[in-house]
Amino acid sequence: MPKHLTAAQVDHYRDRGYIAPLDLLTASETAEARAKLEAYEARSGGPLGGAQRAGGHLLWPWIDELMRHETLLDAVEDLIGPDILCWNSIFWIKEANSPSYVGWHQDLEYWGLDNDELVSAWIALSPASEAAGAMSVLPGSHRELLSHDETYHADNMLTRGQELKIDVSQREVASMALEPGQMSMHNVRLAHGSGPNTTDDRRIGISLQYMPTRTKQLLVDWDFATLVRGTDDYGNFELTPRPQSDFDPVAVEFHQRAGVALRELLYQGAERPPERAPTL
């Protein structure tokens, strides 16, 4: 029996590649998380950017705790089993009335990981309506390997401005709009993308990428992950330290090393040199 998801939800994920929406955080928990993010932004003089968008679980304990949320891990376990690594955490923030978008893409094309059981959980800290640029997916596309163009478009939030070569208008598209505190889950081979935020509020989300501990990295010699449940009998990734406070020096040093490694991985074979911090 599943720990958290229903059997029907597990079947839907296997067949369609995603589940949404799922309730995760209470209204007060969501507001507290957003307040912590925006308090840091206010102190640092502007919206979160650069290398801090990735690997925030190494910089702030509240993200580390969110990554280990029991309900979230129960749902992940229902899909990939009890021994779980979290590969990374990424903020996806579209400012109010921003042209920023995420091109249609499949994550596994660029990550170098050797299995397609990986689960990406996307948690909304503000309204992620269709008008705000909610994620949409191509149901069932996790069974396909699709080709990409690399556009390097300035408004595309992906590292290389990736865009699928297919005509998405000819495919079934499903929206994964979320209320604050809700999450979606999708297979990392599932094609997905999102449009601009046309509302007067920020669209704030954080994604967490979970994988079985048997996963291997094929493109680079060193990679890192966080053991969040069960045991790691494989040792394919260096396990990350857990921050004891905001900007814990040990975790910050690891975050800096991890950022260099992530940049090396995501720009392997790129036609252009990297001009910005990696954002997957």
Residue carrying structure tokens 């996963």? 215
Say if residue 276's pLDDT is above 60: no
- Mean pLDDT, all residues of the chain: 92
Number of domains in the chain: 1
Which CATH number do you get for residue 55?
2.60.120.620
Write out pLDDT tens, residues 81-92: 999 999 999 999
Q: Is residue 38 part of a domain?
A: yes
Domain that holds residue 220: 7-266
Say if residue 257's pLDDT is above 60: yes
Distance of alpha carbon 226 from alpha carbon 240, whole angstroms: 5
For residue 208, the Cα-to-chain-centroid distance in whole angstroms is 4
Tally of helices (H runs) and strands (E runs) in the chain = 6, 13
Q: Is residue 183 part of a domain?
A: yes
Res 10: pLDDT: 97
Strand partners, 122: 184, 207
Write out pLDDT tens, residues 165-184: 888 889 999 999 999 999 99
Q: Is residue 279 part of a domain?
A: no
Q: Is residue 86 part of a domain?
A: yes
Res 272: pLDDT: 57
Say if residue 69's pLDDT is above 80: yes
Q: Is residue 272 part of a domain?
A: no
Q: Show the 3-state SS of 97-152.
A: CECCEEEEECCHHHHCECCCCCEEEEEECCCECCCCCCEEECCCHHHCCCCEEECC
Q: Is residue 1 part of a domain?
A: no
Instruction: Say what the pTM is.
Output: 0.94
Q: Is residue 45 part of a domain?
A: yes
Distance of alpha carbon 180 from alpha carbon 171, whole angstroms: 28
Q: Is residue 69 part of a domain?
A: yes
Write out pLDDT tens, residues 9-41: 999 999 999 999 999 999 999 999 999 999 999
